[in-house]
Chains A and B, each alone.
Chain A
Amino acid sequence: MNPNDHRPEGSAEPMKTFCHSFDEAYPAKIVDFHGWALPIQYDGILAEHAWTRSKCGMFNVSHMGRFRISGPHSADFLDELITGSVRKVANGQALYTLLCDPSGGILDDIIIYKHRSDDYFVVVNAAMRDADWAWMQEHIADRSIAMIDQSGALAQIALQGPLAEAVLQDYTDVELEGLRYFHHTHGTVLGAETLIAATGYTGEDGFELYLPTADALAVWSRLAADERVQPCGLGARDVLRMEAGLRLYGQDMDRTRTPLEAGLSWTVAKDKAQPFIGQAHVLPTDRPERFVGLTLEGRQAPRTGYPILDRNTGAVIGQVTSGGYAPSLSHSIAMGYVQKQALDAEWAVSIRGKALAAERTKLPFLNHVTRR
Chain B
Amino acid sequence: MKQYTESHEWFEAIDGNPGLVKIGISAHAAKELGDVVFVDLPEVNRTFAKAESMAVIESVKAVGDLWAPFAGTVTQVNEQLNDEPTLVTSSPEDEGWILLLQAEQPEDVDNAGMTPDAYQALLAKKG
Binding site for B on A (CB under 8 A): 29, 40-41, 44-47, 235, 238-239, 298-301, 303, 324-325, 327, 352
**Docked-complex contact B58 and A325, CB < 8 angstroms:** yes
Given A298-B38, A301-B37: 8 more A-B contacts, CB < 8 Å: A45-B59, A299-B38, A299-B58, A300-B40, A300-B58, A301-B58, A327-B37, A352-B40
Listed from nearest, the 10 A-B pairs whose CB atoms lie closest are: A299-B38, A325-B37, A46-B35, A45-B60, A301-B58, A45-B35, A299-B37, A44-B35, A300-B38, A235-B61
Task: For the complex, give the distance between the alpha carbons of A299 and B60 in Å.
Answer: 10
**Docked-complex contact A44 and B63, CB < 8 angstroms:** no
Q: Which residues of B contact A300 (CB under 8 A)?
A: 38, 40, 58
**Docked-complex contact A325 and B63, CB < 8 angstroms:** no
Is B96 located at the chain interface by the 8 A CB criterion?
A: no
- Give a binary string over B53-89; 1 marks a CB under 8 Å from any A CB, 0 the rest: 0001011110100000000000000000000011001
CB of A343 to closest CB in B, whole Å: 28
Which of B34, B61, B86 has the most chain A CB atoms inside 10 A of its CB? B61
A-B contacts, 9 of them at CB < 8 A, read A40-B61, A44-B89, A238-B61, A299-B38, A303-B63, A324-B61, A325-B60, A352-B40, A352-B56
**Docked-complex contact A45 and B85, CB < 8 angstroms:** no
Of A45, A298, A301, which is within 8 A of B34 by CB?
Answer: A45
**Inter-chain CB contacts under 8 Å: number:** 44
Of A29, A298, A324, which is within 8 A of B60 by CB?
Answer: A324
Q: Which residues of B contact A238 (CB under 8 A)?
A: 61
Of all chain A residues, which has the CB nearest B61? A235
Of A44, A45, A46, A325, which is within 8 A of B38 by CB?
Answer: A325
Q: Which residues of A contact B89 (CB under 8 A)?
A: 44
**Docked-complex contact A301 and B35, CB < 8 angstroms:** no
Task: For the complex, give the distance between the alpha carbons of A301 and B33 in Å.
Answer: 14
Of B34, B58, B63, B86, which is within 8 A of A41 by CB?
Answer: B34
**Docked-complex contact A235 and B37, CB < 8 angstroms:** no
**Docked-complex contact B63 and A301, CB < 8 angstroms:** yes
- Give a binary string over B26-51; 1 marks a CB under 8 Å from any A CB, 0 the rest: 00000000110110100000000000
CB of A205 to closest CB in B, whole Å: 23
CB of B66 to closest CB in A, whole Å: 13
Q: Which residues of A contact B37 (CB under 8 A)?
A: 46, 299, 301, 325, 327
